Every structure is written in C-alpha cells, then in structure tokens.
Structure 1
Amino acid sequence: MKDAETPSGLPPEAPAFDIKAFLAQLPHLPGVYRHIDAEDVVLYVGKARDLKKRVSSYFQKTPSSPRIGHMVDRVVRLEVTVTRSEAEALILENNLIKTLRPRYNILFRDDKSYPYLMLSGHVAPRIAYYRGATQKKGQFFGPYPSAWAVRETIQILQKVFRLRTCEDTVFANRSRPCLQFQIGRCSAPCVDEISKEDYSADANRAARFLNGETREIMGDIEARMHEAATELEFEKAALLRNQMGALARVLHQQTMENSDSSDTDIIAVASSGGKVCVNLAMVRGGRHLGDRAFFPTHTDNDAAAEVLEVFMAQHYIDNPLPAMIVGSHPLPDPDLIDLLANAGQTKVRFLVRPQGLAKAWLEQAARNAEMALTNALSETGARSARTLALAETLGLDTDPLALEELHIECFDISHTAGEATQASCVVYHHHAMQSSLYRRYNIAGITPGDDYAAMRQVLTRRFGKVADGEAQMPGLVLIDGGKGQVEIARQVFVEFGLDVQVIVGVAKGENRKVGLETLIFADDRPALLLGQESAALMLIAQIRDEAHRFAITGMRAKRAKARNVSRLEDIDGVGAKRRQKLLARFGGFSGVVSASIEDLSSVEGISPDLAERIYFALR
C-alpha cells in the first residue's frame, strides 16, 4: 500500500514532537533518557531514579549550566528506556555513553584495560605482566595504574624471591641456567638449581608480599636464616640473609607503606584554563603503586564534584571496586557509591576528609593532578594551535569545539618488493593521535607491488562501511602519495557518493625531506606547497609519518612470520602436519629454533635424522 501524499505530491511531514505531552506521559520509574537533535544524533545520555522528575528538570526556564542550555536548544525529541533499578540504569547509561559518545556528556577517553601482575598456575609459577580477563588459571594482582608500576614490581620480586619470568616453552627446553640466574634474578627451577618445593614456597611468599603480608614474611625469612645457621648450612643462610636485606631495602624505599593491607583508590580532581584533570592513585596490599592522570572532554564549566562523580561511574562499571575510595570532593549524588557497590556486589567506603596516611595520599594525588594539568595545558595549547593552523590552511571549520572534534584519518601502503603488503590507517582526534583507533589491513588478491590497487582495496573496505552507515565519516582523509593515489581515492569516493573535498594527498618532497611536501587535492583546487615553517604542514607530516611507521611495523611482522614458516616448509620431510606438530610442541617458531636435536626428535613423526636436518637448517 502506498503512503498517503499531500496535494503537492510530497509525503506528509511527521508531526512535530510535543515535549509537554511527552513529559506528561513519563513514569516515575528508574531508567535512561537520550536527548536527540534534528539530525537524529544523540546529544546526551543520562540516568534517573525518577524519569519524570529528571527529564522535566531540563525544560525549566533557567538551565543548570550554559552547556546544558546549549544542548536543550538543539533537542527536538527524547527517548527513554525504563529499567528495573537505578543500578541497572547506571550500567545501561555507561554502555550507551561508550557506544554513542554523545557530544554533551563528560567523556573519559581511555579504552585500554588496566595491567595486572600474574603468577601463573605452572608447577614452577612464572611472574608476568598481563592485560585481559582474570578468569584464567593463575593468581592476579592489581590492577596497576600503569605498565611501569607492574614492571617495577616484577623487578622487586626477581630481586627478593628470584622468580622466573621466562615463557613456559623456554622453561621446558632449557638445559642450563640462563643469564637471569647468573645475575641473581632467578633461582633456575628449570634445571633444578632449586627444588620444586622450595621454589613453590618462594612463589607463595611473593604472593603474600603482594597481598601486604610484609612483616610476616620478614619474620619467616629471619627464622629460616637462623635455623639454617644453627644447622651449619651457611650457604643457605647467606642466601636468606641476602633475601631479607633485599626485602628490607624495598620496604624502606616504599615510603608510603601502610600497615593496613586493604585496597584503596585515591581520586583527586583539578581544573584550570578550561581543562580538567582527574588523578587516580592506587594502593594495593598496603603498597602505593603510583597514579594515572585522565583528561575528560566536554567538561566546560562543570564543577569538580560532578566530574568526580562521572569519572567514578564510568571507571568502576568496568573495573573492580576497592575496599575504600578517597575523593577530593563530596559526590553530588551520595547514592552513587551504593549503586556501584550493588552493581559490583561488594562493599566500599567513600571518604572525603581522610586523616593520617590517607590524607597524605590525597594531598599527593592533588599535587600530581595539578602538575599533570599544567603540563597538559602547555602541550594542548601547542597542539590546538597546530590543529587551528591546519583548519585555516584547508578551509575547515575553525570553531574551537569543531577543532576539538576534528577527526583525521591517514592511509599508507607498505611492502617489500610486493611481499607482505599491508595498509595502515591512523587517527588524529581531540588534538592528538588516537592509537586505540589505529587499524591495519592485509592486502590480498592484487599484483605484488601494485600500490594503486592496494590503496583502492583499503579505501573500498574502509569507506564502504561509511556508505552503508556503519562507520563515521572523517573530517579529513590524508593519503600518503601523489596524484595517482589521490585519483584512486577520488574514484572510490565518487563510487560511494562521498565528498571528495575531504581528500588530501601528501606528496613527498625532494629526498623525502620533511617540509618540502606538496598537498594535492581531489577537487579543482591547485596543489599547495606550504614550506618548512608551516605549522599545518608539521601536523600533516606528523600524522603521515605515524601512518608510515604503523604500516611498516605491521608489514615487517607479517613478512617475518611468513618467512619463518617458509623456512620450515623448505626442509625436506617437513610437511604441513609435521610443521603443525613442531609449532604446537614448542609454542611457535622461536621455540623450534631454540630446541635441541633430542627435543626435536621427541616430537611424533620426527626421526633422529630429520631432527638433525631441522636443527642445522634453522641455523
């Protein structure tokens, strides 16, 4: 059945959204609401204990802040989702914020998971840096605020408890101690320099140390040292003495040691120059592990307390709650702690005016927030100036908010004489490179070395999703190449009905020297030579160089993997099945290379003669 038409032959317009009628029908129930503009873009996502009261508050005569006032002026309709509880609404709100990234929500751009220290479930446990789900076998300690904090802790455990860090495949195939044993960082359980029982005991003591049982461990080591001396085991007593001395030095260096082993997070908010910094410090097992600075966007004139509340809501939905949180400001919504505790099924205390050591932690976190904010303001000013110079040069929108949201993608192709061709896409957004949004594309089905075909393939794959409405359209697309590559990009955009004005080619100058590049456009604009002093060109060169770096590292890894496998393929008698068994047995190509002839011959289907051929072929 055909839709009804107006006398002019055009379909009738949808009735205007009646805000008052919509508000009148809202229930007094918990849920999530979404403000939407005329272009069907979600401007803001929020949660409410009472949808009717909360949503109605936006349409009072006096807005709560200029940012909210600007948003409400653009709202043409609203959507709501009723939930069973406010805790459920909190989880849904944060999922929608992450997915939609609304323009008027305070956003914390941090897609990386926090690192952990892992003690593996091996018979001789290994200490390792770990990111990811913690449901696998082993013990996990953390999370830590940074990779540096994990690696520093690993060094401590190596010095004090001499635990191994090698991969299990290396451990299984060692015939003599490695360098870590020689320098006193490992007790070499791989070659039985220490008994399995003693090594397990050291691993258990390391776990207790990470859980904050430092005094008990010191007493245990001291008692064992005296016992060894009494039994005239002076070499063992000396090792225990050295272990106790190393642990004492660690505890002395840990100036912020806490006798209470409970986990604590300290969160301080600082603001200046229109920018906000949230500094998160972590205490685990009584040890202060350092801190991490976050810089939210879309804060405008929001109060520090509101920023703290939003940070906690977004952070603790995905990360475990500690036993105690120390905050620099009281929360506008005191019920947030209970909501987070219910969602995480745990208990937590929130302190605003701590005493003693917690007060010192909060003061240090506040100082670090202010220092990080000062550094960020100076860096952001320089980055913003370069983004502005680029926008002015290319005729883009120079409004500060538009510059903040300017999304640039740069594409590059890399290969070695046609081998292992890869394309890279790097992203510049919020005045900085966004490594979490980088992508690599394996290029296949083309003539080796055909850069034009490779560029067509990657652009077709990327912008086909834009044409289908599955991906965002960048504000600027940089192509590492000259007229030929730009023409390919233009053809792809025309096929998909996209705006070719956003395409800019970056043609290399003489001897590839930075500053001599020429900008080439896909429309009728003449080529542009900016010169070495151009801030806009310096930014373009930075983005282009990052695309090249990302492409070439991916290509080299792909090439090395292909060549390594082909080295096994080139050995007579090693077919697909035997190759698969070798790689599975030794955990990869590097394990096969390091295996002895005896180890190789222990694999099913590998005779001593074939093992010898493999051994020498890989050397």
Structure 2
Amino acid sequence: MTIEEIRKILPTLPESPGCYKYIGQDGTIIYVGKAKNLRRRVSSYFQRDVQSSKTRLLVRQIRGIEYVVVGTEAEALILENALIKEHQPRYNILLKDDKTYPEVVIRHEPFPRIRVERRPKQDGSQRFGPYPSAGMAHAAVDMVRDLYPIRTCDLDLSPEKIAQGKYKECLQYHIKKCKAPCIGLQTLADYEQNVREIASLLRGNLRDVIELYRGEMLRLSEELRFEEAQIYKERLQYLENYQVKHTVAPHHIHNVDVFSFEEDEDGATYVNFMHLTQGMVTQVYTLEYRSLLEGETREELFASAITELRQRFASRAKELILPFDPGWQDDPSVTITIPQRGDKKKLLELSERNVRQYKLDKYKRAERLNPDQRLMQIVTELKELLHLDKLPLHIECFDNSNIQGSDPVAACVVFKRGRPSKKDYRKFNIRSVEGPDDYASMREVVTRRYKRMKEAEEVLPDLILADGGKGQVGAIREALLSLELEIPVAGLVKDERHRTSALLYGDEFLREIPIRHHSPVFRLLEQIQAEVHRFAITFHRDKRSKSQLDSRLDYIKGIGPKAKEALIHHFRSVQGISSASLEELTTAVGPAKARIIYTAFHPEV
C-alpha cells in the first residue's frame, strides 16, 4: 500500500482508544503507538507539514496499518507497553532503564504483605495491574490498608519465628492498623480471609468500597469536618478512576486464545484472534475466511478458521475463549470456554469489537480506494428498487423555475455511474408557454431535449427523474410518447421538510416507493435533487438579474449594446453595477461612459 492510498483510508479509522501498528516493506512491525482517538492520532503522522525529520523518515517506511480497539486510554497505554516489549519495533524509543509499569503484589509468604512493585519476581505471588501510574497503584494499596489491618513490616512471620517470641507489637497495632500477627494476636486463617477479600477488591469489585467512602465523605461534610472529608473525596476520585479496568485481563489469564466470529451478507466470514500471555494481548489478527465447500455451516467455518489461525501463529494455548461451541476437536487437551460474565466475557467482547470494526473498515476502505465500485452498488440497489430492466448508469433529472410566470426556465442535470457529469448539464429558456404552467413547460423542455438527442443519435438516459409529483411525471411521459421513446420515468417525492422521502414510479399506476433515510440510494437521490434545484435556481436568478439590468440600462442615454455587454460581463448583476465605484466602472467601459452610468445610479452626486 502506498502513502497516498494510506491517506485515503485514514478517514475510515475509528475514533476510539486503541493501539496502532505500522507495518514496513517486509511485513514486520516497525512502530507501535497508543491513542485516545485512533483516527486523529494516526492521521497526524501523514500531514504534509510534519516538522520532525524522524517522523518523516518513519512515514516513508510505512506500507500498512493495523490497530487494536480497546475500551479506555489506560488500556491502550498498557497494551502499547506489552506490544513494544513483544515486537521491539525498530522506530520505537524504548523506555529508559527498561522501565515498566507498576503492579500491586500480594507476596507469596506467611501473612502476606501488599506492595507496589515494578519488577515483581515470578515466585507465585498474586499480581494485579499493571497500572498506568504509580499514583493509582499506591492509591489501591492505601485503599486496602484503610479497610483491612494488613501488616506493613518486613519481619519474617514464619510459624517458627513467631513461636520464638522475639517480636514486639509496633505503632501500627496501637493505631489499629494491624492486629499484630507477629506476637500471635491474629491467626493465619483470619489474615488469609482478609487477603482473599483484598484480592477480590483489586480485581475490580469496588462498588461497596466506593459507597462506603462516599458515605464517609458526606457524613464528615455535614459535621463540618471538611479537611477529613477532602481526604475521602480524593480517595473516592482515585477509586472511581481505578474502577475503570486498567488491565486488558488479570495475570492469571495466561496462554489463552480468544476467537470471535462475524458474517456478512456476501457470504464472507471474519474471525478475530487474540493471544494473551499473563493478561497481556501479544498477538492480534483478523482473518477473512471464505468456505470452499458448498453448504458448510457456521460452526464448521469457525472451526476451520480456528485451526488455520492457531497453525499460522504456532499457538500452543491450552484454553480457547469462544462465543459459541463450533465442535472444534483438533486437540482434546485444550479447554473450550464460552463465558457468560466476568473477565473472560470482557475479553471476548474486546475481540468481537475488533472483528466488527474490521468488517466495517473493509467496506469503508473499499469505498475510499475504489469509489466506482461503491457507486455501482448504489446504482444496482436503485435498479432493484424500481425493478428496472437494466442498470440506470445514465440518469437525467429536470426542474422548472419561475416567479409567477416571469422569466421561466428549466434545467437538466446528468449523472453517469452515480457521479454528476457537469459537461452534459443543460439550461432551457421556455419558449412556447405563457404564464406559470409547470406541466406544459416540462413537456416542452423534455420534447426539445430528447428530440435533438434522437436526431443526433446520442445515447439516451436509462432513467429520467422529475423533481416533482404525478403531474411532472405525466408531462415527461407524454413528451416521450410523442417522440416514440420508452425511458423509465420516476418522480422525487418530498416530505414536509422538502427532502426526498420516496420515489413515484409504476408502469401503469404510479405508486410511492419509500426510501430508507440515510441509505446510500437516499443520499444519491438527495444529491441529484439538490443539484438540479441549485442549477435551475442559479440559471433563473442570472436570467432575472440580466433582464432587470437590461431594462434599467436601456433608459440610460449614451449606453449602447457593446457597453451593456461589457458591464454584464464585468459585474454580473445590476446590484454589482449600481454599487460599483466610478473607478471600477472606468475599468469596464472607460471614463466617459463610466461617468454617465455612475450619475444615472447616483443622481444625488
């Protein structure tokens, strides 16, 4: 994919948080980044006035873009860190001293301590996070210590050491922040029950704690103890931020594959694959899969796609998280999980969000890179809507314009293959109709238009549209009948807001065919209606202005046809001439005539 092609598809990117990956010439990942808004962030790299030489060098190497949609900016930050460490892209500036994000660790030891650590050891300790900032990690630990009497000391509290009686209670015991397990005043069973509840909180079950803090804040405020209430307010803010999931998944979800499944009307199947290691997404890929066997079920398709993706990425995961059971049995040692709630359900929803986004982007990108294909689909939909014999590749639309019969005109706009063909637009002065008779005007214009085309053996339209109702459609049909032409004719029916709402069509009896608002066909017809109305009104305004100008200039002695023509060409309207300065008029017709015209329009001077 070239840089210009990439620029075309940038507007199709989602405006969601996520991580983006730039793919180089050889298919490797050369850069990973995070974004609160993927479309805005990625587009910023491809602006033509980028100042950074490093960014310009990076952009020249990009041949493709992949991205993963996540729920929050915090998740994007954590996922970016994992992807950088996994792929080590050439253009990423790795964090100095291999900095990593903080985690909350419940140590694997008697009477476990709870700490914030950046590089926890793989020793069986429970790990929660990582967190986007140390402040949030410490806030989680502070919350735990507010609610539970957990020790903060570094003592070895093995049963043997406690039995020796070498320890003495500390200040934390006296201020009721610890129950002094060091001297046997708290049993291991009681302490471990607290640890289990703490682990539940750290996994995100915070509702009760938030309500408790909010109640304390309100109580202290009512008692006018504002400094203490402020402490609870700050804790509450931390907790509400923390409540938004800061990890893609808990660390215990390890070596797991997640697959989601989506279909479209064209028979294509889309399967998203995510591999997780210690709660981190390390691989993401969406496969468009088409069955080679007639009558293959969705379960069989899904099972085939799972097998192909696991082989492609050499996955040895022992658990698959799936939306439904496809009957996949390639490896009986692998566990199939179809989650209904909890962390695994959220992972499945993340995968489903990405597969739906991929399917949506496919259509958007196809439209950007090959707009003719999309327009042909719209034209095909219009053919099916009206049950036409052939595709309406050539559409012409007529509209009349007059004010109480004065200066009557008509306009014809032409659309070919769904696009306006402005070189084929035509303007008509009404010749044979006296007064405001729209139907007679339409018969005249259509007769003139297609009589000339028939005599010149030009290609006739596949469909004619009238910007009006039954009378306009009938007038066009009468004109075509007099010319012995058979061209389908439909009327654009408007609603109370003067917007296209239906098509008036039928072989013998006209009937309204409703059009779904904001559908592609609706937008095409709305564009045709707006274009013919604009073209007709502009022509009528120009003609009216010219006739007014002619009549006023006719009464100015000394201004002949050539001067009038020069004035019309230069100023376009009577308003332009009347408001022009003497110098501007001199530029158009010379000083003598300019003085005459200026005096005629400004007699007080």
Structure (1 or 2) with the larger CA radius of gyration? 2
Q: TM-score, normalised by structure 1?
A: 0.34
